Structure 1
Amino acid sequence: MAGITNYTAHRLGQPAPSWTRRVKPLSGAWMPAESYRSVREPMKKLTISGTPAELAALNVFIRERSLATA
């Protein structure tokens, strides 16, 4: 939630809420797509490279394109 909030605030040119700075990154990388299917290495690399910085900083990896279509 903090990552998406930061991402949205950044895109709108607004400051992120202060509570988002208190959220710690996940201990390991997480790709939501892996929750329901296996993801091959080339797609993992594409996902990592296409993840907004606000989410990557929290160790959450999802393509910006996927966010736009969600």
Structure 2
Amino acid sequence: MNVPEAICTINFWLLFMAMICGMGSGLATINNIRQSLRYSTVQLNSLVIPVFSCSVGSYIFSVKVIGYFYDKVAF
């Protein structure tokens, strides 16, 4: 299955909507924590940037490791 075929499936759109809802609720939670603790925008940015850079870095690492793992073992 290629990308245009995948985009036309219901599974793609269900996963896409779940991801959008999850990201939105995470940002709302961080914003509410900032407001309740009366953080300034600078303090919030110094909190959010390491969290997102860590998650992106771990995603890239896991894709590389899992891809290598499946190439050697499964095939």
- Normalised to the residue count of structure 2, the TM-score between the two structures is 0.30
Structure in which a larger fraction of residues adopt helix: 2
Q: Which has the higher contact order (CA 8 A, sep 6+)?
A: 1
